Structure 1
Amino acid sequence: MIVRAAHLSWSGVPPSGHDTRPWLLRPFWQQIPRRWIKMLALLGLLCFISVCLGLSINQRDQAFANGRKLQDLGNDQAVSHFPPSRQTHQTTHDPTILRVGDEYYLYHVGEHIFIHTAPSMAGPWKRVGTLLDANSVIPKGDRAAPWAPTVITVDGTYYCYYSVSKAGCRDSAIGVATSNSPGPGNWHDHGIVIQTGTGNGSDIHPYTVSNAIDPSTLITPEGDALLTYGSYWNGIFQIPLGKDLLSPRSTTDPDARQLAWEPKSLGMPNRLANTICGDPTGPHAIEGAFISYNAGWYYLWYSHGFCCNLKEDNLPPAGQEYSIRVGRSNSPRGPFTDKSGTDLVKGGGELVYGSNGDTYAPGGQGVLRDGDTDVLYYHYLNKTVGIAFQDALLGFNPLKYVDGWPVAQA
């Protein structure tokens, strides 16, 4: 046996200084070939790096979930939590709020667009009726419950821009209704402003690559009207409106600008995805744009991540649920950038408000100038109450500006 082992272990004369004992008679650690030792050492190093990387990623995601700023990780003194939401106990989704005199008007998703009023942002909110008297005149999507209304007032006329669509599809349209008062009972539905997917004008860029929902209309100091819209696909776009505020300034040359986009897909595409229902490149989760103005800067707010059809046993990874982000520009037409100077079209965006405490997945936001204070309002979920679409609640936080950047306050 010894001779056989020696024969198997050696060939030729061993170098001077080598252990000449047969392989099986050496100490255990010497029986392991050197290349195995090197491979085991390399494997151990890779495992160590993987564990450290995993801890780092987990720290990042948990920090996001706790409401910390991603850019502040690694600096314990700079890390800060988001303040709790000022809660109203008012169910809402994609709210828009106006103040008319001493009364506040809330418009949000519901059959024919719900209208509530209250003596303050905190409520109590009382439902006073609906904006439309019947289904939208636009023959698309969910005509009975238009999405994401936004209401502005110009020279005594109130304009409500709304969207009709089908979840997950971009065969959508933005419509407009007008009234001489903010309450229910006197709104006229003018129908389509723009549409994507199918229908007249949908074959013109950017309607060929965008989703006509989540409208937000801004009137500049010069009197120009700009319609900002978009959801998923290629992100947020903007076009000028005509003087009547009911149609694009041009139907053949929209003069469109792409303002923001999430270049990375946050998940796998549906296997049946096409250019109309489902993006074949996966979900580029950005939507709900809103533009506000303060002290020489235009701020483009948007919702990033997943908001709807959530399941308690399969929530998005921490940091991929809805959160509120912003970029700024000296021009209402952009380009909009974040603090680092990254263009929002290239994936930039400053995180202003995210999940914290009982507040989960805030988004669908707007900004109301209330006296001399800007107030950020939004819908959010409280997981102890429920995470269904109809469980969304109205929350808000005053804003202060630090070096020209908005910061949510308690």
Structure 2
Amino acid sequence: MTRDGDCYYVISSLYGYPIRRSCDGVDGPWEVVGKIFPNGSPQWFKDYLNTTNPMYEWAPAIDKVDGKWRVYYAGTTFGSQRSTIGLATADDIEGPWTDQGEVKSSVPGKPYNAIDPDPVWAVDEKGDRTKAYLAWGSWWSGLYIQEIGADGKPLPEAPEVHIASRAKGGLEAASVIHHDGYYYLFASYDGCCAGPNSTYNIRYGRSASVTGPYLDESGVDMVNGGGTLLLAGYGNIRGTGHQDVFEDDGTTRLVHHYYDRTRPAGNFDAYLQVRDLTWSEDGWPELLGPSTTIGGVGVPFINKSSELCLDAWEWNQTPGTVMRTATCNELNVQQWYVSDPGQSADDFVTITNRNSQLCVDGGEFDTARNSPAMQQACESLDSHAYAQEFQLEATRDGWFKVRNRETKLCLTAATANVAGSNTTWEACNAGDAQLWRTTAVPEERLPFTVTAATRCVAGKVVVAVTSRNDSDMAARLEVSTPYGSKIVSVIEPGKSVSSTIATRLVAIATGTVSVTATSSDAESVTQASFAARTCG
């Protein structure tokens, strides 16, 4: 991922390396605006891999150097060491792109596998770029880095420096950034590309030198198998990895893909997530909650009785946490993903919290009333885990009940209407505590009809206003003109009232009167125009 002006861009694997753009932040919406190779990858690339299958176009990485965009792209056949990295350049990130040919390749017998490129920069004390490097590697003996020249390709005399390895298990996808005097190496461990069975996790180390050694928080060199865990699978989230870390106008962002056990997908159909990183006092990265999944943000669940929002509470990612209601905000703990009802044969949905990635759960087949409403690790939609499936039963005006498939109980807000109160499962009823909506509650308006006219009284102009209450609620009125105001203490439903405001002038111009109607539950403002008038 990178940023160009006000827009974010993601370059992804497969089928010509699609380019996606969002000009509304990392939450999207995202659209495909082109490909690095719209007519297919270069012939040399296909010849080297001995395949024309676009499923083997992998792991692009992007950089901007002296005003020109660079994309390093890779290819291999799955599990093979016959792999290669190429380079394409463009003046505009949306293309057209020009292939610059081979950068690094591997064959059986090499110590490394030449995929997963990552452009890296050494910086001076001011943070300005000095020397360019390329990191790469996947499985075999791990990760390497090498200085590159102005053309973006390795300098012939520059050594290939080994920066990370494991005695056993997967290791790939280097991403190196500089922060506050250190270079940080992030890498993916274990296995990707197996759908929800993927075991990918992200680990890191740091070094005072761009070429290492990179030590984890325990002081173990990543060449010797070190690496402090940053993120692994949790809840319904699996295969968190192939990360890219970049600086975005003072914010450090971690981009990674993952699989969702509740959303069936193929082995290469991963989702993208963006998270922010912060830094501890001693300079180690700390992970914040997920910012987004490509496809959009979640929705709030607003309760009718309390006017509070369903909340995963205090950024908790622990299964079994009781959900509460809290003052509505735009934080991830109050955003929920509702699955497409079409994914279930019976039009039931799952509800997943954006921060915790845990699912709303009706209980372990617990039909007891007043049982706490919790989040639990998500189960697959085809697992018949009916405790995590719900019907959103529409009532009226956008409100609905959340009825659990197994227990037949409904999600209920506390009657106390106090922020921080627990939610429970109760027998479904007609009460407002069981009514929810995922869009903002529309402001109730008091329908009024207002007319205004001018006339002469004793040689001076007066403004006469007639207000009719078309609502079913009694209301207090305030009639305002440029020449003064009047208050009507109460006007009953269906009734009209006339108000006269003296201007004390012999002539006035065209103007506007505003009538503010207020009841115990709603407020509205209705305006009407009056004509110019000259008296005498």
TM-score bracket for the superposition, by shorter chain length: 0.5 to 0.7
Alignment of 1:30-179 (within 5 A): 97-119=1-23, 120-133=25-38, 134-137=40-43, 138=45, 139-141=47-49, 144-145=54-55, 146-179=57-90
Counterpart in the other structure of 1:339: 217
Letter paired with 2:171:
I
Q: Distance in 2 between matches of 1:124 and 1:340?
A: 41
Counterpart in the other structure of 1:197: 107
Q: CA deviation at 1:240?
A: 1.1
Q: CA deviation at 1:226?
A: 0.6
Q: 2:135 aligns with which of 221, 225, 228?
A: 228
1:162 match: secondary structure:
strand
With the length of structure 1 as denominator, give the TM-score of the two structures: 0.65
Q: CA deviation at 1:109?
A: 0.6
Which deviates more from structure 2 when the two are superposed, residues 134-143 or residues 387-396? 134-143
Q: CA deviation at 1:219?
A: 2.4
Q: CA deviation at 1:131?
A: 1.0
Q: CA deviation at 1:387?
A: 5.1
Conservation of the 8 A alpha-carbon contact between 2:16 and 2:36: yes
Q: Distance in 1 between matches of 2:162 and 2:102?
A: 21
- Larger helix proportion, structure 1 or 2? 1
Conservation of the 8 A alpha-carbon contact between 1:112 and 1:136: no
CA deviation profile, 1:64-119 (whole Å, cap 9, x unmatched) = xxxxxxxxxxxxxxxxxxxxxxxxxxxxxxxxx11001000110012110000002
Counterpart in the other structure of 2:193: 308
Q: Distance in 2 between matches of 1:295 and 1:157?
A: 27
CA deviation profile, 1:322-364 (whole Å, cap 9, x unmatched) = 0011110111110001011000011100111111223211001
Letter paired with 1:346:
N
Counterpart in the other structure of 2:504: none
2:145 match: secondary structure:
strand
Conservation of the 8 A alpha-carbon contact between 1:171 and 1:195: yes
Q: Distance in 1 between matches of 2:194 and 2:158?
A: 33
Conservation of the 8 A alpha-carbon contact between 1:231 and 1:288: yes
Q: Distance in 1 between matches of 2:178 and 2:265?
A: 32
Letter paired with 1:368:
F
Counterpart in the other structure of 1:405: 284
CA deviation profile, 1:164-210 (whole Å, cap 9, x unmatched) = 111000101110000001113x1111111111107xxxx8xxxx211
Conservation of the 8 A alpha-carbon contact between 1:299 and 1:328: yes
Q: CA deviation at 1:216?
A: 0.3
Q: Distance in 2 between matches of 1:163 and 1:289?
A: 13
- Larger strand proportion, structure 1 or 2? 2
Q: Distance in 2 between matches of 1:303 and 1:122?
A: 24
1:224 match: secondary structure:
strand
CA deviation profile, 1:292-324 (whole Å, cap 9, x unmatched) = 1111111101100111135x6xx46xxxx1001
Letter paired with 2:85:
I
Conservation of the 8 A alpha-carbon contact between 1:140 and 1:165: no
Conservation of the 8 A alpha-carbon contact between 1:237 and 1:258: yes
1:256 aligns with 2:166: no
Q: CA deviation at 1:386?
A: 2.7
Conservation of the 8 A alpha-carbon contact between 2:193 and 2:268: no
Q: CA deviation at 1:260?
A: 0.5
Matched positions, count:
276
Q: Distance in 2 between matches of 1:212 and 1:333?
A: 18
Q: Which has the larger radius of gyration?
A: 2
Letter paired with 1:149:
P
- For the aligned residue pairs, the C-alpha RMSD in angstroms reads 1.6
Counterpart in the other structure of 2:500: none
CA deviation profile, 1:214-264 (whole Å, cap 9, x unmatched) = 00011222531111000000000111112211x2100xx44111100111x
Q: Distance in 1 between matches of 2:164 and 2:275?
A: 24
Counterpart in the other structure of 1:180: 91
Letter paired with 2:285:
P
Conservation of the 8 A alpha-carbon contact between 1:152 and 1:159: yes
Which deviates more from structure 2 when the two are superposed, residues 133-142 or residues 231-240? 133-142
Conservation of the 8 A alpha-carbon contact between 1:229 and 1:289: yes
Q: Distance in 2 between matches of 1:327 and 1:178?
A: 31
Letter paired with 1:127:
V
2:192 match: secondary structure:
coil
Q: In structure 2, list runs of 5 or more residues that go unmatched.
A: 124-128, 290-536
Same amino acid, percent of matched pairs: 32
Alignment of 1:383-394 (within 5 A): 383-386=261-264, 388-394=266-272
